[in-house]
A and B are shown apart, each in its own frame.
Chain A
Amino acid sequence: MALVEIQNVSKTFKTMMAGARGEVHALSGVSFSLERGEIVAITGASGCGKTTMLRIIMGLEQASGGSVVVNGRKVSACGYDRGMVFQHSELLPWRNAVQNVAFGLELKGMDKPTRVAEAQRYLDLVGLGHAAERLPHQLSGGMKQRVGIARALAIGPDVLLMDEPFGALDAQTREGLQNELLAIQAKTQQTIILVTHDLDEAVLLADRVVVMSRGRVAEMLDVRLPRPRPSLAALRGDPEFGDKRLRLWKLLKTEMDADARKAA
């Protein structure tokens, strides 16, 4: 059985517009699965439901139908089998880097010396061992996001969930972090679900890309560029990358054109 099974998940929001009750189908019949060690990217235009899907997997939102099963257990709320990396890192501003990484371990009930040592180990893993004492406002955007990744990894989740983690960063910092994420993944074989609107990112990082449109899975694209991927810069020159990216772009374009026709 796959490590993560998403089966027929739907999500309906009830709305009140001008006194009339309405329903918005944010997700309908979404299914896909991940094997251990896989990286899957979810992409699609804004409003396609990709973030909602991730929040349901995390347990921050409840599905209206269907189920999410992680490592054989059905998801009903947040749990330590899943670790979330937020879009804007969301570090606690009164805690320094190492205390932020230790946050999940603290809630897990780990005693202080053990969790500080453990947090320091994960901070080293993301290359921030030297900045342990710094408060979030003394860290750059890229460094904050690394702390966010370390915080999520520290609890030892089966699957790491990332919500557009590099979207707010400048291009160079983003590429640095993408490289680093791949390096960490090569080391730890961490299973990752990554929501992104950046097609380059989806093709460079993921083994498979779930293309979503209007709350459905429009297409499942196998990328599987050769691994390990030592340098993203070299990969960009690879003709296979160009091919996959173009295919993904065409898929999205078709979906968006269909959307536009529907709206007209």
Chain B
Amino acid sequence: MTTDHATAPSSLRMDLATILMGRRVVTFASVTIALLLWEIFGRQVNPLFGSYPSAIAAAMVDLTVSGRLPNAFLQSLQPFVVGFSIAAILGIPIGMLLGRFRFMEAAFGIYVTAGNAMPLIAITPLFMLWFGLGFTVKVAIIATLSFFPICMSTWSGVKSIPKSLIEVGESFVGSRRAILQKIVLPASVPYIMAGIRLAVGKGIIAMIVAEFFTALSGLGGIILTAANNFETAEMFAPIIVLLTFAIILNAFVQWLERVIAPWHIQVTGQAD
């Protein structure tokens, strides 16, 4: 049959690669210009009130050589990894339950919706009373803040699965469990990944806030100490580390999504 041909997969992949390359060039140019402008205008500002890339780079080198920056980063990373893992381990299944069972949604959905809007600063003092000032409270704050975007995104992802896809499972006599595992879970992977990417941002904010308010430590510790000493360039160094960390983590989650759900990118035509 002449009409029965689909696009060859190889040409599809080529297109995607070309587009990605083109976008990388644009991103790179954008960052270069931004840094250049910052350098030019930043130099004209009193170093108390602002800084500029070359000064920040110098501060970063100093902090790295002295070992403060790498140590602080590792110190921040530990509660982040633990807290974020807890958020994902709880957020994904709870989101699926909310999306799949109307009773669960009616009973518990309201807490998740409300919790998602909860201001972090408001609960930090209470968390300090419950969990103290050490490692545990940081994990708790990061886990709480990262939990909600993951849970909400999974929840709405499950809700958005077309009814007809569920009916495929039903017509082949799939049990509730089988439908959950073989249809609902794979179909919601793109939404779960979107939630995880949102949660990366929230988790990093939570990490720094936790370090500010509880025992001063990690990257947040360097930021606050430098700010108190009016060392503006030194203050920016850990912030740059944080931003870089966020970008790398985001790229990693995107890569993970491409590995787990390659079909989604090509169905929607969304490369990122």
Interface, chain A (partner B; CB < 8 A): 58-60, 77-80, 82-84, 86, 88, 90, 92-94, 103-104, 106-108, 134-140, 142-143, 155, 170, 172-173, 176
Contact = CB atoms under 8 A, between A and B. Distances in A.
B186 to A, nearest CB: 5
Contact of A143 (B4, B12, B170, B183): B4
A86 B5 CA distance: 21
Contacts of B267: 93, 137
B165 interface: yes
Nearest to A131: B6
Classify chain B's interface size: 20 to 34
B168 A134 contact: no
B229 interface: no
A135 B263 contact: yes
A103 B189 CA distance: 19
B8 to A, nearest CB: 8
Contact of B263 (A58, A82, A93): A93
A78 B169 CA distance: 10
Contacts of A93: 187, 263-264, 267
Interface stretch (B73-81, B137-145, B172-180, B199-207): B172-180
A101 to B, nearest CB: 11
A142 B171 contact: no
B165 A92 contact: yes
A104 B6 contact: no
Nearest to B269: A137
27 contacts: A60-B167, A78-B170, A79-B173, A80-B172, A80-B173, A83-B171, A86-B164, A86-B167, A90-B167, A92-B168, A92-B186, A103-B168, A103-B172, A107-B173, A107-B182, A108-B173, A138-B266, A139-B6, A140-B4, A140-B5, A140-B6, A142-B1, A142-B4, A173-B1, A173-B3, A176-B1, A176-B3
Given A86-B164, A135-B263, A60 B4 contact: no
Contacts of A140: 3-6
B152 to A, nearest CB: 23
Closest 8 CB pairs between A and B?
Answer: A104-B172, A84-B171, A176-B1, A140-B6, A93-B263, A173-B3, A94-B186, A94-B263
Nearest to A169: B3
B86 interface: no
Contacts of A103: 168, 172, 182
A60 to B, nearest CB: 6
A172 B5 CA distance: 13
Interface string B2-22: 111111010010000000000
